[in-house]
Protein backbone atom coordinates (compact mmCIF):
# COMPACT_ATOMS: atom_id res chain seq x y z
CA UNK A 1 0.00 0.00 0.00
CA UNK A 2 2.97 2.32 0.30
CA UNK A 3 2.93 4.77 -2.60
CA UNK A 4 6.61 4.88 -3.58
CA UNK A 5 6.20 7.75 -6.04
CA UNK A 6 4.45 9.88 -3.43
CA UNK A 7 7.08 8.95 -0.85
CA UNK A 8 9.81 10.07 -3.26
CA UNK A 9 8.00 13.33 -3.96
CA UNK A 10 7.54 14.09 -0.27
CA UNK A 11 11.19 13.39 0.47
CA UNK A 12 12.32 15.54 -2.45
CA UNK A 13 10.16 18.45 -1.31
CA UNK A 14 11.46 18.18 2.25
CA UNK A 15 15.16 18.18 1.40
CA UNK A 16 14.77 21.21 -0.85
CA UNK A 17 13.79 23.28 2.20
CA UNK A 18 16.75 24.54 4.22
CA UNK A 19 16.45 23.50 7.86
CA UNK A 20 19.83 23.65 9.56
CA UNK A 21 19.61 23.62 13.35
CA UNK A 22 17.65 26.58 14.77
CA UNK A 23 16.19 27.31 11.29
CA UNK A 24 13.52 24.61 10.97
CA UNK A 25 10.59 27.01 10.65
CA UNK A 26 9.92 26.61 6.92
CA UNK A 27 10.10 22.84 6.85
CA UNK A 28 7.89 22.74 9.93
CA UNK A 29 5.24 24.75 8.08
CA UNK A 30 5.25 22.25 5.22
CA UNK A 31 4.92 19.32 7.61
CA UNK A 32 2.14 21.05 9.54
CA UNK A 33 0.16 21.46 6.34
CA UNK A 34 0.43 17.77 5.52
CA UNK A 35 -0.46 16.72 9.07
CA UNK A 36 -3.44 19.07 9.21
CA UNK A 37 -4.84 17.48 6.06
CA UNK A 38 -4.69 14.15 7.88
CA UNK A 39 -6.72 15.44 10.82
CA UNK A 40 -3.94 15.80 13.35
CA UNK A 41 -4.17 17.94 16.45
CA UNK A 42 -0.98 20.03 16.10
CA UNK A 43 0.99 21.91 18.74
CA UNK A 44 4.23 23.88 18.36
CA UNK A 45 5.92 24.11 21.75
CA UNK A 46 8.19 26.83 23.13
CA UNK A 47 11.47 24.93 22.79
CA UNK A 48 12.52 27.22 19.97
CA UNK A 49 12.22 30.30 22.19
CA UNK A 50 14.35 28.63 24.85
CA UNK A 51 17.02 27.55 22.36
CA UNK A 52 17.02 30.65 20.16
CA UNK A 53 15.51 29.01 17.10
CA UNK A 54 12.79 30.11 14.71
CA UNK A 55 10.28 27.42 15.71
CA UNK A 56 9.62 24.83 18.36
CA UNK A 57 9.08 21.10 18.37
CA UNK A 58 6.11 19.95 16.30
CA UNK A 59 3.79 17.60 18.21
CA UNK A 60 0.95 15.99 16.25
CA UNK A 61 -1.66 13.83 17.94
CA UNK A 62 -3.97 11.30 16.31
CA UNK A 63 -6.82 9.85 18.35
CA UNK A 64 -6.77 6.57 16.46
CA UNK A 65 -9.71 4.21 16.14
CA UNK A 66 -8.76 1.39 18.53
CA UNK A 67 -8.27 1.06 22.28
CA UNK A 68 -4.50 0.46 22.07
CA UNK A 69 -2.13 2.42 24.28
CA UNK A 70 -0.66 5.63 22.81
CA UNK A 71 2.42 5.06 20.65
CA UNK A 72 5.18 7.65 20.12
CA UNK A 73 6.77 8.22 16.70
CA UNK A 74 9.76 10.53 16.37
CA UNK A 75 12.09 12.11 13.83
CA UNK A 76 14.04 15.37 13.82
CA UNK A 77 13.59 18.28 11.43
CA UNK A 78 17.05 19.84 11.54
CA UNK A 79 20.07 19.06 9.38
CA UNK A 80 23.79 19.77 9.61
CA UNK A 81 25.96 22.01 7.44
CA UNK A 82 26.58 22.22 4.55
CA UNK A 83 22.81 22.01 4.32
CA UNK A 84 21.68 25.08 2.39
CA UNK A 85 20.47 25.04 -1.19
CA UNK A 86 20.30 21.25 -1.39
CA UNK A 87 19.52 19.97 -4.87
CA UNK A 88 18.49 16.30 -4.67
CA UNK A 89 19.54 14.00 -7.48
CA UNK A 90 17.70 10.72 -8.15
CA UNK A 91 19.64 8.20 -10.22
CA UNK A 92 19.14 4.43 -10.48
CA UNK A 93 16.83 4.42 -7.50
CA UNK A 94 19.22 6.34 -5.22
CA UNK A 95 18.89 9.88 -3.84
CA UNK A 96 22.06 11.95 -3.46
CA UNK A 97 22.92 15.64 -3.43
CA UNK A 98 24.87 17.35 -6.20
CA UNK A 99 27.98 16.77 -4.11
CA UNK A 100 28.44 20.23 -2.61
CA UNK A 101 25.99 19.75 0.28
CA UNK A 102 24.61 17.01 2.44
CA UNK A 103 21.41 15.35 1.21
CA UNK A 104 19.36 15.66 4.39
CA UNK A 105 18.22 12.04 4.50
CA UNK A 106 19.21 12.41 8.15
CA UNK A 107 16.48 12.79 9.16
CA UNK A 108 14.09 13.85 6.40
CA UNK A 109 13.89 10.32 5.05
CA UNK A 110 12.29 9.50 8.42
CA UNK A 111 9.85 12.41 8.20
CA UNK A 112 8.82 11.39 4.68
CA UNK A 113 8.33 7.78 5.80
CA UNK A 114 6.18 8.72 8.79
CA UNK A 115 4.05 11.07 6.68
CA UNK A 116 3.56 8.43 3.98
CA UNK A 117 2.50 5.82 6.52
CA UNK A 118 0.05 8.23 8.11
CA UNK A 119 -1.41 8.96 4.67
CA UNK A 120 -1.84 5.26 3.93
CA UNK A 121 -3.55 4.71 7.28
CA UNK A 122 -5.92 7.61 6.67
CA UNK A 123 -6.84 6.99 3.05
CA UNK A 124 -7.49 3.28 3.69
CA UNK A 125 -9.21 3.80 7.05
CA UNK A 126 -6.88 1.25 8.62
CA UNK A 127 -7.05 0.28 12.27
CA UNK A 128 -4.62 2.44 14.22
CA UNK A 129 -4.09 3.17 17.86
CA UNK A 130 -3.57 6.66 19.30
CA UNK A 131 -0.34 8.28 18.12
CA UNK A 132 1.87 11.09 19.33
CA UNK A 133 4.19 12.15 16.52
CA UNK A 134 7.05 14.35 17.71
CA UNK A 135 9.20 16.10 15.11
CA UNK A 136 11.98 17.78 17.07
CA UNK A 137 14.27 20.71 16.42
CA UNK A 138 18.01 20.98 17.05
CA UNK A 139 18.72 17.26 17.42
CA UNK A 140 22.01 17.68 15.62
CA UNK A 141 23.41 20.18 18.13
CA UNK A 142 22.91 18.24 21.32
CA UNK A 143 19.37 16.79 21.20
CA UNK A 144 18.19 20.22 22.33
CA UNK A 145 14.64 19.98 21.02
CA UNK A 146 14.01 16.77 22.94
CA UNK A 147 15.72 18.17 26.04
CA UNK A 148 13.41 21.20 26.04
CA UNK A 149 10.27 19.20 25.26
CA UNK A 150 7.64 19.39 28.02
CA UNK A 151 7.24 15.72 28.79
CA UNK A 152 4.17 16.44 30.88
CA UNK A 153 2.36 16.86 27.56
CA UNK A 154 3.39 13.40 26.31
CA UNK A 155 1.28 10.43 27.38
CA UNK A 156 3.03 7.64 25.45
CA UNK A 157 5.19 5.24 27.43
CA UNK A 158 6.89 3.68 24.43
CA UNK A 159 7.48 4.14 20.73
CA UNK A 160 9.98 4.35 17.92
CA UNK A 161 12.35 6.99 16.61
CA UNK A 162 13.43 6.74 12.98
CA UNK A 163 17.02 7.93 12.97
CA UNK A 164 19.48 5.22 11.93
CA UNK A 165 20.61 3.46 8.78
CA UNK A 166 19.76 -0.25 9.03
CA UNK A 167 16.19 -1.01 7.97
CA UNK A 168 16.56 -4.54 9.35
CA UNK A 169 17.73 -3.44 12.79
CA UNK A 170 16.33 -1.76 15.88
CA UNK A 171 18.74 0.09 18.16
CA UNK A 172 18.24 -1.04 21.75
CA UNK A 173 21.54 0.14 23.27
CA UNK A 174 23.07 3.61 22.99
CA UNK A 175 25.70 5.29 25.18
CA UNK A 176 25.73 8.06 27.72
CA UNK A 177 27.82 11.08 26.74
CA UNK A 178 29.66 13.93 28.45
CA UNK A 179 30.72 17.12 26.68
CA UNK A 180 33.91 18.78 27.94
CA UNK A 181 35.41 22.23 27.34
CA UNK A 182 38.81 23.36 28.57
CA UNK A 183 39.92 27.00 28.40
CA UNK A 184 43.68 27.17 28.92
CA UNK A 185 45.07 30.55 30.02
CA UNK A 186 48.71 31.34 29.27
CA UNK A 187 50.66 34.56 28.92
CA UNK A 188 51.03 36.68 25.79
CA UNK A 189 54.44 37.81 24.50
CA UNK A 190 56.24 38.55 21.24
CA UNK A 191 57.31 35.19 19.84
CA UNK A 192 60.49 36.57 18.26
CA UNK A 193 61.61 39.38 20.56
CA UNK A 194 60.72 37.95 23.97
CA UNK A 195 59.27 34.43 23.87
CA UNK A 196 60.68 33.70 27.34
CA UNK A 197 58.23 36.23 28.76
CA UNK A 198 55.28 34.25 27.45
CA UNK A 199 53.53 31.06 28.49
CA UNK A 200 52.19 29.19 25.47
CA UNK A 201 48.60 28.11 26.12
CA UNK A 202 48.59 25.90 23.03
CA UNK A 203 51.66 24.05 24.29
CA UNK A 204 50.00 23.45 27.66
CA UNK A 205 46.89 22.12 25.91
CA UNK A 206 49.04 19.96 23.66
CA UNK A 207 50.76 18.34 26.63
CA UNK A 208 47.38 17.59 28.18
CA UNK A 209 46.07 16.06 24.96
CA UNK A 210 49.23 13.99 24.54
CA UNK A 211 48.50 12.41 27.92
CA UNK A 212 45.07 11.19 26.79
CA UNK A 213 43.94 7.95 25.22
CA UNK A 214 41.72 9.00 22.31
CA UNK A 215 39.52 6.99 19.98
CA UNK A 216 38.06 3.66 21.08
CA UNK A 217 39.02 3.01 24.69
CA UNK A 218 37.23 -0.34 24.87
CA UNK A 219 34.16 -2.04 23.40
CA UNK A 220 31.86 0.27 25.38
CA UNK A 221 33.75 3.56 25.54
CA UNK A 222 35.11 6.25 23.21
CA UNK A 223 36.94 9.52 23.80
CA UNK A 224 37.56 12.39 21.40
CA UNK A 225 39.05 15.86 21.16
CA UNK A 226 37.18 17.51 18.32
CA UNK A 227 37.77 21.28 18.44
CA UNK A 228 40.83 23.42 19.21
CA UNK A 229 40.56 27.22 18.96
CA UNK A 230 43.35 29.60 19.88
CA UNK A 231 46.14 31.91 18.89
CA UNK A 232 46.18 35.22 17.06
CA UNK A 233 49.32 35.16 14.91
CA UNK A 234 52.50 33.16 14.43
CA UNK A 235 54.58 35.92 16.04
CA UNK A 236 52.53 36.00 19.24
CA UNK A 237 52.86 33.51 22.09
CA UNK A 238 49.20 32.51 22.53
CA UNK A 239 47.66 33.34 25.88
CA UNK A 240 44.40 31.47 25.34
CA UNK A 241 43.22 28.24 23.74
CA UNK A 242 39.88 26.46 23.94
CA UNK A 243 39.65 22.71 23.57
CA UNK A 244 36.37 20.78 23.19
CA UNK A 245 35.89 17.04 23.45
CA UNK A 246 33.56 14.28 24.52
CA UNK A 247 33.39 10.91 26.22
CA UNK A 248 30.80 8.26 25.43
CA UNK A 249 30.20 4.94 27.15
CA UNK A 250 27.57 2.29 27.65
CA UNK A 251 28.91 1.99 31.23
CA UNK A 252 28.39 5.07 33.39
CA UNK A 253 31.30 4.19 35.68
CA UNK A 254 33.63 4.11 32.67
CA UNK A 255 32.13 7.38 31.46
CA UNK A 256 32.96 9.00 34.79
CA UNK A 257 36.47 7.50 34.89
CA UNK A 258 37.48 8.69 31.42
CA UNK A 259 35.94 12.11 32.06
CA UNK A 260 37.97 12.39 35.26
CA UNK A 261 41.14 11.40 33.38
CA UNK A 262 40.55 14.15 30.80
CA UNK A 263 40.02 16.77 33.49
CA UNK A 264 43.11 15.59 35.36
CA UNK A 265 45.26 15.71 32.21
CA UNK A 266 44.52 19.40 31.70
CA UNK A 267 44.82 20.21 35.40
CA UNK A 268 48.17 18.42 35.63
CA UNK A 269 49.52 20.09 32.49
CA UNK A 270 48.64 23.50 33.89
CA UNK A 271 50.20 22.67 37.26
CA UNK A 272 53.41 21.54 35.53
CA UNK A 273 53.40 24.79 33.57
CA UNK A 274 53.12 26.86 36.75
CA UNK A 275 55.97 24.94 38.34
CA UNK A 276 58.17 25.57 35.31
CA UNK A 277 57.30 29.27 35.02
CA UNK A 278 57.40 30.01 38.71
CA UNK A 279 54.07 31.79 38.37
CA UNK A 280 51.49 30.79 40.97
CA UNK A 281 48.48 31.64 38.79
CA UNK A 282 49.44 31.19 35.12
CA UNK A 283 48.90 28.89 33.32
CA UNK A 284 45.50 27.78 34.59
CA UNK A 285 42.52 25.95 33.12
CA UNK A 286 38.79 26.64 33.29
CA UNK A 287 36.90 23.36 32.93
CA UNK A 288 33.29 22.75 31.90
CA UNK A 289 31.74 19.27 31.96
CA UNK A 290 28.17 18.84 30.72
CA UNK A 291 26.19 15.61 30.66
CA UNK A 292 24.81 15.51 27.12
CA UNK A 293 22.58 12.46 27.27
CA UNK A 294 21.94 9.27 29.21
CA UNK A 295 22.40 5.76 27.88
CA UNK A 296 19.56 3.55 26.72
CA UNK A 297 19.35 -0.16 27.34
CA UNK A 298 16.16 -1.83 26.21
CA UNK A 299 15.89 -5.56 27.00
CA UNK A 300 15.62 -7.59 23.83
CA UNK A 301 12.47 -9.28 25.17
CA UNK A 302 10.73 -5.94 25.78
CA UNK A 303 7.22 -5.95 24.23
CA UNK A 304 8.08 -3.05 21.93
CA UNK A 305 11.12 -4.84 20.56
CA UNK A 306 9.05 -7.97 20.16
CA UNK A 307 6.55 -5.86 18.23
CA UNK A 308 9.20 -4.72 15.75
CA UNK A 309 10.57 -8.25 15.39
CA UNK A 310 7.09 -9.66 14.79
CA UNK A 311 6.27 -6.96 12.24
CA UNK A 312 9.46 -7.74 10.34
CA UNK A 313 8.69 -11.45 10.46
CA UNK A 314 5.25 -10.83 8.98
CA UNK A 315 7.07 -9.17 6.05
CA UNK A 316 9.44 -12.16 5.72
CA UNK A 317 12.33 -10.14 7.12
CA UNK A 318 14.71 -10.62 10.02
CA UNK A 319 14.96 -7.85 12.60
CA UNK A 320 18.04 -7.73 14.83
CA UNK A 321 18.80 -5.70 17.93
CA UNK A 322 21.62 -3.21 17.47
CA UNK A 323 24.11 -1.37 19.66
CA UNK A 324 25.21 2.09 18.54
CA UNK A 325 27.85 4.58 19.59
CA UNK A 326 25.66 7.52 18.63
CA UNK A 327 22.98 9.42 20.49
CA UNK A 328 19.46 10.27 19.37
CA UNK A 329 16.28 11.84 20.68
CA UNK A 330 15.49 8.32 21.88
CA UNK A 331 18.12 8.76 24.62
CA UNK A 332 16.20 11.72 26.02
CA UNK A 333 12.84 9.96 25.71
CA UNK A 334 14.26 6.92 27.49
CA UNK A 335 15.59 9.14 30.28
CA UNK A 336 12.02 10.40 30.77
CA UNK A 337 10.60 6.89 30.98
CA UNK A 338 9.54 6.47 27.36
CA UNK A 339 11.02 3.24 26.01
CA UNK A 340 12.03 4.16 22.47
CA UNK A 341 13.65 1.86 19.94
CA UNK A 342 15.43 3.42 16.97
CA UNK A 343 14.57 2.16 13.49
CA UNK A 344 16.53 2.71 10.28
CA UNK A 345 15.52 4.41 7.04
CA UNK A 346 18.38 3.28 4.79
CA UNK A 347 20.32 6.56 4.93
CA UNK A 348 24.06 6.22 4.35
CA UNK A 349 27.15 8.43 4.88
CA UNK A 350 25.26 10.91 7.00
CA UNK A 351 26.82 14.33 7.71
CA UNK A 352 28.85 14.21 4.49
CA UNK A 353 28.45 15.39 0.91
CA UNK A 354 28.32 11.68 -0.02
CA UNK A 355 25.09 11.13 1.89
CA UNK A 356 22.54 8.95 0.08
CA UNK A 357 19.41 6.88 0.54
CA UNK A 358 17.80 4.27 -1.69
CA UNK A 359 14.10 4.70 -2.38
CA UNK A 360 13.67 0.93 -1.97
CA UNK A 361 15.10 1.18 1.53
CA UNK A 362 12.67 3.97 2.41
CA UNK A 363 9.80 1.87 1.09
CA UNK A 364 11.01 -1.06 3.23
CA UNK A 365 11.11 1.18 6.30
CA UNK A 366 7.61 2.50 5.56
CA UNK A 367 6.23 -1.02 5.13
CA UNK A 368 7.74 -2.03 8.46
CA UNK A 369 6.30 0.98 10.27
CA UNK A 370 2.88 0.36 8.73
CA UNK A 371 2.96 -3.25 9.93
CA UNK A 372 4.05 -2.11 13.40
CA UNK A 373 1.03 0.20 13.54
CA UNK A 374 -1.26 -2.63 12.38
CA UNK A 375 -0.01 -4.99 15.07
CA UNK A 376 -0.07 -2.26 17.71
CA UNK A 377 -3.71 -1.52 16.88
CA UNK A 378 -4.47 -5.19 17.62
CA UNK A 379 -2.93 -4.88 21.08
CA UNK A 380 0.60 -6.17 20.40
CA UNK A 381 3.21 -4.38 22.51
CA UNK A 382 0.61 -2.89 24.87
Q: Which three-class secondary structure string do you get for the chain?
A: CCCHHHHHHHHHHHHCCCCECCCCHHHHHHHHHHHHHCCCEEEECCHHHHHCCCCCCEEEEECCCCCCCCEEEEEECCECCCCCCCCCEEECCEEECCCCCCCCHHHHHHHHHHHHHHHHHHHCCCCCCCEEEEEECCHHHCCHHHHCCCHHHCCCCEEEEEEECCCCEEEEEECEEEEEEEEEECECEECCCCHHHCECHHHHHHHHHHCCCCEEEECCEEEEEEEEEECCCCCEECCEEEEEEEEEECCHHHHHHHHHHHHHHHHHHHHHHHHHHCCCCCCEEEEEEEEEECCEECCCCCHHHHHHHHHHHHCCCCCEEEECCCCCHHHHHHHCCCEEEEEECCCECCCCCCCEEEHHHHHHHHHHHHHHHHHHHCCCCC
Both 46 and 136 in a single domain?
A: yes
Q: Please check the confidence at residue 232 and state whether its pLDDT lies above 90.
A: yes
Has residue 189 been placed in a domain?
A: yes
> How sure is the predictor about 381, in pLDDT bands with cuts at 50, 70 and 90?
low
For residues 269 and 190, the answer to whether their CB atoms sit within 8 Å is no
**Higher-pLDDT residue of 277, 109:** 109
- Maximum CA pair distance of the chain? 80
- Say what the pTM is: 0.92
> How sure is the predictor about 382, in pLDDT bands with cuts at 50, 70 and 90?
low
Both 348 and 199 in a single domain?
A: no
Q: Which of 45, 106, 139, 163 is catalytic?
A: 139
Both 319 and 357 in a single domain?
A: yes
Both 12 and 91 in a single domain?
A: yes
Q: If you average pLDDT over residues 105-125, what whole number do you get?
A: 98
Has residue 382 been placed in a domain?
A: no
Domain boundary among the residues 272, 293, 314 is at 293
Both 65 and 195 in a single domain?
A: no
Enumerate the β-bridge partners of residue 164. 344
Domain boundary among the residues 266, 293, 320 is at 293
Write the pLDDT tens digit of every residue in 167-220.
Answer: 999 999 999 999 999 999 999 999 999 999 999 999 999 999 999 999 999 999
For residues 373 and 304, the answer to whether their CB atoms sit within 8 Å is no
Q: If you average pLDDT over residues 241-269, what whole number do you get?
A: 98
pLDDT of residue 379: 83
**Burial class of residue 52 (count of CB atoms within 10 Å of its CB; 0-12, 13-18, 19+):** exposed
Number of domains in the chain: 2
Both 220 and 80 in a single domain?
A: no
Write the pLDDT tens digit of every residue in 130-153.
Answer: 999 999 999 999 999 999 999 999
> How sure is the predictor about 279, in pLDDT bands with cuts at 50, 70 and 90?
confident
Count of Cβ atoms closer than 10 Å to residue 222 Cβ: 17
Both 28 and 139 in a single domain?
A: yes
Has residue 132 been placed in a domain?
A: yes
Both 94 and 216 in a single domain?
A: no
Both 16 and 159 in a single domain?
A: yes
pLDDT of residue 365: 98
Q: Please check the confidence at residue 303 and state whether its pLDDT lies above 70.
A: yes
Write the pLDDT tens digit of every residue in 332-352.
Answer: 999 999 999 999 999 999 999
> How sure is the predictor about 361, in pLDDT bands with cuts at 50, 70 and 90?
very high
Q: Is 229 a catalytic residue?
A: no
pLDDT of residue 180: 98
**What share of the chain in percent tops pLDDT 90?**
98
Domain boundary among the residues 260, 293, 326 is at 293
Q: Which of 23, 24, 78, 355 is catalytic?
A: 78
> How sure is the predictor about 380, in pLDDT bands with cuts at 50, 70 and 90?
confident
Both 98 and 155 in a single domain?
A: yes
Give the mean pLDDT of the chain. Answer: 97
Both 146 and 214 in a single domain?
A: no
Q: Is 281 a catalytic residue?
A: no
Which stretch of 56-65, 271-280, 356-365 has the lowest confidence by average pLDDT? 271-280
Has residue 310 been placed in a domain?
A: yes
Has residue 373 been placed in a domain?
A: yes
Has residue 120 been placed in a domain?
A: yes
Both 17 and 123 in a single domain?
A: yes
pLDDT of residue 19: 98
User: Any idea what the CATH number is for the domain that residue 194 is in?
Assistant: 3.30.70.360
User: Any idea what the CATH number is for the domain that residue 87 is in?
Assistant: 3.40.630.10
Domain that holds residue 287: 176-293
Amino acid sequence: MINRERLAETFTALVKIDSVSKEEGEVSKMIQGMLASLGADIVIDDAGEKIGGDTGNLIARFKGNTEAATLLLNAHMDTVEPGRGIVPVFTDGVFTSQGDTILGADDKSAIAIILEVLKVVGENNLACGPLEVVFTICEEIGLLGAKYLDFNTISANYGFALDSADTRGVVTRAPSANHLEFTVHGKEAHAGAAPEKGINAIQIAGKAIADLDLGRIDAETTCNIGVIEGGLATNIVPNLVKVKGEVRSHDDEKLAAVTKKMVSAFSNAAAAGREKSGDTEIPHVDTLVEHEFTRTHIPEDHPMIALAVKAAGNLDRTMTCKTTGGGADANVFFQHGIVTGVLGTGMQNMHTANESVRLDAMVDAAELLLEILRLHAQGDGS
